[in-house]
Amino acid sequence: MAIQAPVRLSVADYLVWEENNFEKHEYIDGEVRCMAGATAKHNRIMTNLTGALWRQLDNSDCFLLSSEMRVKAGESRYVYPDLSAVCGEEQFERANEMELLNPILVIEVTSPSTIAIDRGEKKDFYLQVPSIQDYLIIDQHRVQAEHCARSGGGWRSRLYNDVGAAFRLGGLGCRLALAEVYRGISFDAPPR
């Protein structure tokens, strides 16, 4: 099987190309990367996260945005986090409202093909976006959440591995319990 080389485009060409494309693609410093599909566990975690946060954001000026929202994470970086949140009025790079500039929270749910990117370069990108107060990396194959929170002039990071753990997303003023995130998910192999 031949491996296709990554597509390279200018920022302007990428933005036009992505608007006319059915599939989603991230853009990192000239390289276009196709987004993969998601497993049932990934989708269930996303539904659980959305429900847990949505209930707490009722009657606030904060709201959630799905993985369809592209976030500008640098001058030549456009990514699709699994979930993001904004408080107040969202700001966009262009009038078409496709490139969000001011997320307060971004969440990635890892997969085998994205775990290194989510914990590596994407983490580096997100921590440089001035509006982001919390970055959350959720593992879909075991109970594990890494929470990066803006603190003073820097960032603090904590790893949670206990389903009984809970922590505060300071930017949203929400409490997130891992029991809610992983509700209904089993990590044991099914009996045969």
Euclidean distance between CA atoms 59 and 169, whole angstroms: 17
From residue 3, alpha-carbon distances to 6, 18, 145 in Å are 9, 22, 33
Q: What is the CA radius of gyration of the chain?
A: 17
Q: Is residue 8 part of a domain?
A: no
Q: Is residue 118 part of a domain?
A: yes
Q: Is residue 189 part of a domain?
A: no
- pTM of this structure: 0.86
What per-residue confidence (pLDDT) applies to 3?
A: 39
**How do 31-34 and 25-28 pair as beta strands?**
antiparallel
Euclidean distance between CA atoms 170 and 149, whole angstroms: 8
Q: Is residue 64 part of a domain?
A: yes
Euclidean distance between CA atoms 39 and 141, whole angstroms: 11
What per-residue confidence (pLDDT) applies to 181?
A: 97
Q: Is residue 114 part of a domain?
A: yes
Question: Into how many domains does the chain fold?
Answer: 1
Q: Is residue 164 part of a domain?
A: yes
Written as tens digits, the pLDDT of the chain (192 aa) is: 333 455 678 888 888 888 888 788 878 888 888 777 788 999 999 999 999 999 999 999 999 999 999 999 999 999 999 999 999 999 999 998 999 999 999 999 988 777 777 787 888 899 999 999 999 999 999 999 999 999 988 999 999 999 999 999 999 999 999 999 999 999 875 444
Task: Return the number of other C-beta atoms located less than 10 Å from residue 102's C-beta.
Answer: 18
Q: Is residue 31 part of a domain?
A: no
Q: Is residue 95 part of a domain?
A: yes
- Which CATH number fits the domain that encloses residue 141? 3.90.1570.10
Token readout for 4 is 């296709």
What per-residue confidence (pLDDT) applies to 191?
A: 46
Domain carrying residue 120: 38-181
- Quote the DSSP letter at residue 153: T
Task: Return the number of other C-beta atoms located less than 10 Å from residue 11's C-beta.
Answer: 15
User: 59 near 26, Cβ under 8 Å?
Assistant: no
Q: How is the beta sheet containing 105-109 ordered, strand by strand?
A: 62-65, 83-87, 105-109, 134-138, 145-151, 154-160
What's CA 170's distance to the chain center, in Å? 17
